[in-house]
Amino acid sequence: MMVNKSGWTRTLGLALMFSAASAHAEQGEVPEGYRVAQQVLVGDGSVLEVLEDLRITPQMHADSWGSALDADSFDASADLENHPLLEAQARLIADSGEVLAQKDLGYPLATVEKAPINGLPAPAFFLTIDMTAPMGSYSGPATEVLVPAQNQLDPLRYLAETGEKRPLVLAETGKAAWKVVPANDSATESIQQVSSAPAPQGEDFVTTYRTYRYVDGQWQVASRQQPGYWENESEFPQPSAFP
């Protein structure tokens, strides 16, 4: 059975959202203007945190996710004109309370959750940053695959077909989607992604199908393209479409 990332991410994400790991609730001094929106245990005693502007309530986060945070959601006391919204931050906190890594995420909303991917040397997590713009179909949540025990808050890198190492970031937009696919003949799940974009020349579209697999100790990608158009309102492509 194929796992639909879009479905389980919102279900699992909302279930975890704004709940703190009680044993670590007091860890790490929270920067001024922020609140701890989410905490997820990594497994080695450390914690992944998402910090958001304290003016963004949990309900506002849920209502705005995937549709762009609207200034009309705030009342006058928020004073956005003089104090613009702070961008979300991700932090990795040690069991001792030490901040091991911290980074700005560039947008106000983000979530973190354990990735349903087995067979890796260390647990993987999905850090999703909501990059949705008010208009257009090429923006939306972008998910970085993290392995904190190895790379802290740097995205996992995969081996591209060109031989380059690139960050593993998965887009969910009006013209892109992805899924985690259960393992068949291996111990590790793979990831399929589909995306459409205008062809380099002319007015036609081209659709790209990618499969990310964990092979010989590293993530690799295989891809193929074909003329045509795919949008997120359609059903996710059949497995046979992916290399």
Q: What is the pLDDT along the chain (243 residues), one digit of tens a residue?
A: 344 444 444 434 444 444 434 344 445 689 999 999 999 999 888 999 999 999 999 999 999 999 888 777 888 888 888 899 999 999 999 999 999 999 999 999 999 999 999 999 999 999 999 999 877 788 899 999 999 988 899 999 999 999 999 999 999 999 999 999 988 766 799 999 999 998 877 768 999 999 999 999 999 999 999 999 899 989 999 999 999
Query: Do the Cβ atoms of 108 and 87 come closer than 8 Å?
Result: yes
Q: Residue 149: which domain range?
A: 5-241
Determine the Cα–Cα distance for residues 41 and 140; give it in Å rounded to an integer.
26
pTM of the model: 0.85
5 alpha-carbon distance from chain centroid? 10
Number of domains the chain is built from? 1
